[in-house]
Structure 1
Amino acid sequence: MSFKSKLAAIAAGAMISASASIPAALAMDEITVAYFLEWPTANQVAQMKGTYDEEMGVKVNWRAFGNGNEMTQAMVSGDVQIAYSQGFVPFVVGVSTGAPLKLVGIAVTYAENDNCIVRDDAGITKDNAKELEGKKVATPIGNVTHYKLLKTLDHLGVDPNNVNLVQMNPPDGAVALARGDVVMACGFGGALTRMREYGKPLMTGAEQEAVGINTFDIITVTDEFATEHPDLVEKFLDVTEKANEAYKANPDEALPVIAQASGMDAQATKDMIANFGFPTAADQKSKNWMGGGVQEMTKGVADVMVAAGGMDEALDSYEQFVDPNYLP
């Protein structure tokens, strides 16, 4: 299935009428939080030790999902109140099609794991990036990677209309870069690792984050849960903040617990989490994040998806779906 077809399938699966409502809230003696296995995050120490239950005063059930769109559907049905580390694209699709969700925090960042690599023999860096104009660049079209590429080119003074963007999913982009068919390729995961064998990033992930070009997963809640139980949302984010800081202070102590929670062996957990970042609440509320950057990116990604045919239409604004006020 092509990337465009996958986006269309996601959009179809997430299509919810704007009038859809969540069943009446439970007495909130327990809640369900969606998360991913094989995705190690700092908060899983608090998950495993029952810290969330203790601090929130409710039983917290952790339910693993296969993808972010499934999380959206479970939240719309009322089965899940909080999604931890939900993917950004499923959130954009969900709220664009009527899902009553609210983004209340940034779960994890991984800018270094989603990037564009320039061939070493091209002689192109961020300092002379305009030389990309007139050349072929491989990228998946209509997703966060594509959006980040456009923002990066704009930041470096490159006119994207003068760059020959070629639709390629990351594995194909890696092959094209290796053969020299393209001067730069964009991707993520294992394909990005293979791309790095032939070149270097146009901008590092850290350099991108410094100017508000971010790659991240999010913490979302249902509108009803946030409205009726704002204290529980605040406590969830507070426990998460403390767990993140405890991990940063002593990662070696936390890693065995995180490995157990994520269903991975210790070395795989260590290798993966080393590429993750867990921004503080203060960082999340800053201009580059939920102080404006995330809202802008939500609209930008939605527009890119519409242009690529992966979504019927974007909303005029996504401001109402991003709320940093629950953060500690």
Structure 2
Amino acid sequence: MTLRKFAVALAAGVSMAATLGMGGAQALEKVTVAYFLEWPTANQVAQVEKTYDEAMGVEVEWRAFGNGNEMTQAMMSGDVHIAYSQGFVPFVVGISSGAPLKMVGVAVTYAENDLCIIRDDSGITQANANELEGKKVATPIGNVTHYKLLKTLEHLKVDADKVNLVQMNPADAAVALVRGDVVMSCGFGGALDRMKTVGKPLMTGAEQEAIGINTFDIVTVTEDFAEEYPDLVRKFLEVTEAANAAYKDKPESAYAVVSRAAGMDMDATKATMKNFGFPSVADQAGQNWLGGGVQAMTKGVADMMVSGGGMDAALDDYSSFIDDSFIK
């Protein structure tokens, strides 16, 4: 599904959600949290050990998704209350189309764990990147990976409209790259490791950060859930903060548990997490993040998506969708 088609479908879903009502919180028996497999994060120790359940006083169900857009759709339907490590771009697309979501925290920062891998036998490098025009490139559409790809192509002076972008989740994109069905695949987590067996990054994470392409995932909640259960949102973030701090203090003690929860082997888990950053709530509240930086970036990303044809229109202001009250 293209980003534009997703936005149209999302707008229709918002209308349906409004008709059906997204309340239902009075009958809350459990909290459902969306997350990704093969995306190991420090909080998964608390996930496995049911620290969230204990602190929040309710059963916490963890449901795996393939991409951030799927998370948005599930939240709109009322099936998911919290999304952990949702991609920033799916969030922007969602709220631009009327999805009743709020960003309440930063889950993880990363650069080297979300890349586009070009096949070694393609002969394509940064110097001749315009040779990507006319060729197939696999990427999940409408998420931060897609956004980074577009910004990378823009920086390398490649006409993105002439590149045949094929919608694939990372696992499928890795298979396509290894088989030679596409010349480049973009993805993250364990799938990225498989991509690297046949190629190298078109641009490294460090090179992208140097030109202002930052990468991070966020914690989002539905507006209804935030309004009716603010204490549960706060408890969720408190447990996450404690798990992040424990990981920073003794990372080796977390790898075994996290690898099982993420569905990855130990070596892949360690390699992935060593490139992750888990900002403290104090950092998240700062000007670079929820104190102003994220609000500005949200508007910038939305405007870019409109200019690139991915969305029909951006909002004038996104500050109401970013709530720092739960981390203060």
TM-score between both structures, scaled by the size of structure 2:
0.73
User: Partner of 2:122 in structure 1?
Assistant: none
User: Partner of 2:263 in structure 1?
Assistant: 263
**Residues 311 and 269 of structure 1, relative CA distance in 2, 3 Å threshold:** same
User: Partner of 1:65 in structure 2?
Assistant: 64
Is contact 2:117–2:195 with CA below 8 Å preserved after alignment?
A: no
Find the residue that maps to 2:315 and give its secondary structure.
Answer: coil
Shift in Å, 1:246: 0.5
User: Partner of 1:225 in structure 2?
Assistant: 225
Shift in Å, 1:259: 1.4
**Residues 96 and 264 of structure 1, relative CA distance in 2, 3 Å threshold:** same
Matched, 1:48 2:48: yes
1:149 and 1:38 mapped to 2: Cα distance? 21
2:17 and 2:254 mapped to 1: Cα distance? 43
**Residues 80 and 194 of structure 1, relative CA distance in 2, 3 Å threshold:** closer
Equivalent AA in structure 1 for residue 273 of structure 2: I
User: Partner of 2:283 in structure 1?
Assistant: 283
**Residues 297 and 263 of structure 1, relative CA distance in 2, 3 Å threshold:** same
User: Partner of 1:121 in structure 2?
Assistant: none
Matches within 5 A, 1:293-304: 293-304=293-304
1:260 and 1:115 mapped to 2: Cα distance? 24
Matched, 1:318 2:325: no
| Count of residue pairs the alignment pairs up | 309
1:193 and 1:165 mapped to 2: Cα distance? 27
Q: Residues 25-74 of structure 1: CA distance to partner in whole angstroms, max 9, x if unpaired?
A: 13545322122222211101011111112222x22322323232232222
1:268 and 1:275 mapped to 2: Cα distance? 11
Find the residue that maps to 2:25 and give its secondary structure.
Answer: coil
Find the residue that maps to 1:112 and give its secondary structure.
Answer: coil
**Residues 207 and 320 of structure 1, relative CA distance in 2, 3 Å threshold:** farther
User: Partner of 1:12 in structure 2?
Assistant: 9
Shift in Å, 1:24: 3.2
Find the residue that maps to 1:258 and give its secondary structure.
Answer: helix
> What percent identity do the matched residue pairs reach?
53
Find the residue that maps to 1:314 and give its secondary structure.
Answer: coil
Equivalent AA in structure 1 for residue 62 of structure 2: R
Equivalent AA in structure 1 for residue 229 of structure 2: H
User: Partner of 2:169 in structure 1?
Assistant: none
**Residues 269 and 17 of structure 1, relative CA distance in 2, 3 Å threshold:** same
Q: Residues 73-103 of structure 1: CA distance to partner in whole angstroms, max 9, x if unpaired?
A: 2222222211111122221222111111100
Find the residue that maps to 1:109 and give its secondary structure.
Answer: strand
Structure 2 unpaired stretches of 5+:
119-124, 167-172
Structure 1 unpaired stretches of 5+:
119-123, 126-130, 179-184
User: Partner of 2:245 in structure 1?
Assistant: 245
**Residues 275 and 110 of structure 1, relative CA distance in 2, 3 Å threshold:** same
Give the aligned CA root-mean-square deviation in angstroms. Answer: 4.1
Matches within 5 A, 1:1-328: 4=2, 7-9=4-6, 11-13=8-10, 15-17=13-15, 20=18, 21-56=21-56, 58-67=57-66, 68-114=68-114, 144=144, 148=148, 187-189=186-188, 205=205, 213-328=213-328
Task: Judge which range, 277-286 or 141-150, deviates more.
Answer: 141-150
Is contact 2:52–2:60 with CA below 8 Å preserved after alignment?
A: no
Is contact 1:42–1:258 with CA below 8 Å preserved after alignment?
A: yes
Equivalent AA in structure 1 for residue 5 of structure 2: A
1:45 and 1:150 mapped to 2: Cα distance? 34
Shift in Å, 1:104: 0.4
Equivalent AA in structure 2 for residue 274 of structure 1: K
1:211 and 1:18 mapped to 2: Cα distance? 41
